[in-house]
Structure 1
């Protein structure tokens, strides 16, 4: 008895002491369910098959895997179309306690049935995970792998140093290459495949967000962040990166760079399967691997090939892969190899792999800060996030062979790198550019600006004492300075710290000339 009962009695001019007339019926509740005091009893075995069919059909029409359907019926043992049974409501969040503990009848393990439906015995209980690490190229490889998965029709969640994405929609901006960002993807119920960039810093601070993965890609190991967090040499750095392939499940694949000694050596300690990639089609490591029935990807005669034992499959001409710039950007060609292996080993149709390679380019939208070209009236600007000697060397080799009359480089060096690394950045830049502009990062990381520039100049003048050098500290101002003084037919290469700010500055300068973005 509650307020509802008293309200009903009052409307009928009755009270708790009233006596009803013979045959009179009084409903003392407005609803009939367990929460209002009804008595639940199990009628599972009494339900007519036609009524069961109706309930299942209603659930499917409503698009619900689990639901509660309220029927009003004089007898559920009779077909619904024979006794005017009606459906009162469909509840997407039904109560299940009454089924497990009815007042009368047999208890039913509804929770167990639901779990069996959601997680069938023997079926995968987790989404596939591919993890990518290395010194250079890991963001591009991550993005291209994600593009391939999306092209295959699956919803992909991926993390990079620019943010967390579900398909191509950015969820969180910033450096998201750590385990916290990975968890954001792994916990998203819409994600069907996770591609996770795993950087050195996140691994050292918090490890990985997963206990095992299906694929572990290692791009390369080169000088970067040495002298930080007890990482004193390349071997130390390789040991950190090796955590990723070591987490690959027994039936999964570590995809390793056979051209990199430290990466190749990782294969010795693995319990998973190993696939290799190489820019050298005659690599002894590749030949030995495929002679044992292994799988590998190589570049030969400007084409990408995949070997599965003694079976050789041609995948694509580099001329048809925009991100390789017709095969002229060796490091981008190398980035494609583990992606092709990943697609092949995942069972993705070869035509879909080719389509993904054809439709992925180096635009600021697809790969921000990775080989982004911008066209001006009389010159071009290239923006790239390369920030260590190996990265700059790769860009430098591309620039050296690029058709431009005068080549300008805008460079900087992180202050927390060793003196030899900063000097090395200066040496590398001087090899490939006719003119250099020195800028500064916003965060000098423990060094004075003058000290960083002094070390860069030391390296520059070792290679070319007479090269033209200008100091313009702020990145945006250095870009404006270079554009203002650009010679006809020149190429300005910006090694950027802040990718979004850099792109914004260049596009603003473009708008002043009313010129569209250049697609290479």
Structure 2
């Protein structure tokens, strides 16, 4: 078989919000199969075997068949290369540790050209997977060698560069479980939870409630000790020193054995324990001095190191440490023994997926000093049977949450409050965490801001603790079971008929209720009546700014079909979703919309994202629009100028929840089932040349937002007079 030409990637578009395909971000790729349009999988000799040899786990893909092996069945029956590429990319993401199950491939109106999409939590990871998947597929088609391991490694490297760390990811996952939206604010771990004025921010395990003063206190270990000791919290005796000689003098005054550590270090770096001789103390000073600006000498507390996580004034999790030892065999060096007896533990590694760190003893001053105290070096060969202490601390990963004594919980939570931290990692040393500290001479040795959560999420021994959920519950307390914490009222308006004016009037009516309202529409980006940016603000990168703005208490977004197809919606869910019409197909040929019949599927996106306690406001005069109500998770409200419109009549017959808006004797009527409320007639000036149905869309949307009927009419009457200033830039 002759070599086949490459599949051409005509267009790659990252849809960042809810879109034609799904609620979530996807990478959409337009593919030109070229000659491969005539070569489905079953016509390519040996292709199926080569592909499944490269990616044997493709057998797990159900595809449209709905069962294991479904995709392989499709390969045998014959499927096109675009569909195959979809599954190759998904499998590479699975192998790279970022599993996804969503993908679709659909033909376009042009022969051989397809739109292929797959779930993509990060654009750069998705592009990397696409690039490697494309190469793999063409290699399998043309019977050429391909290094799958190298391809997966490249994707995994991009995952490591792009994705959130484990602590932040756990908090975000807990927010998602409670349907709290999140926005990543930088390439690191700064994340916004919630929208607008109801947002909170986290950075790893620090929050916008974590004060700079508390962080500063926590960094100064000597100051921390003095503050908490003054409130009755047990701490070890100690003092700061500036030279090795001062360290030895302090050690003798405090009483041996002692601990030396940097005053502002972290992660246990530079900490030396159980020092009993002048040589050990002076050597430990040099190690500690390399990791901080000042060195502390403290009384050595008997017992194991523990880390207790305090969230919102309560202990949420606890972990215990253990010392690391090796046993000599008379043949291997200390370095070789560490690699064979410690580093082979699958719980140890260099990534954030491992609860214990891999030990590199040649570069660790504390370990080298510990070996020196035993008369050893990394290259020394200990005699057979000799036990060698490698590390006294740094192995805190054994869950002991259920063993913590109530008195210990009280003291630890008190220490966090004294420092002023909403989330704290409190380190203490005790022989038995199940007994009060004063009974055993235990003490708190450090209070840390921004503690890592990995030891509690993936302990080496014991069960994981839901610490991410504990942080979310502190930031967003349950409000009588309210499921939408962190959300502001959001209105999305889709259509072409008077949609900009509708959006601006709805924003005005919401503002009259005393809220600060953001508006993104074709006229620009607004906060209240001040324009923040001119030009079309329906683009995702412009309109999304409203959700980051802490001043925004409610937001109104104008969307058209192009917004859905090119960017996706700026928000994940909305309080009110409005669809006025299904017009505009004639301007979307570039996006493969060839007829009006395709428009309902596009505009359905606006209805799909309505919250369960939200409202879809739909034009009953357009049967295609009215039919979208079937896809709404919340309430459906219809409007039409004619009260005899069939869809409206049928809807009103559905009972008290069948709300509708229509005209009677030129007066707007709000109807709930058979009950009707007639509003005052609107003046010709208030209509501003708008069609009746457009005015009714405004009234219905305001009603869905619980704006009082009298205020709706008054607001429409005063709209033009009070919004002239909004055309002026801020």
TM-score, scaled to structure 1: 0.50
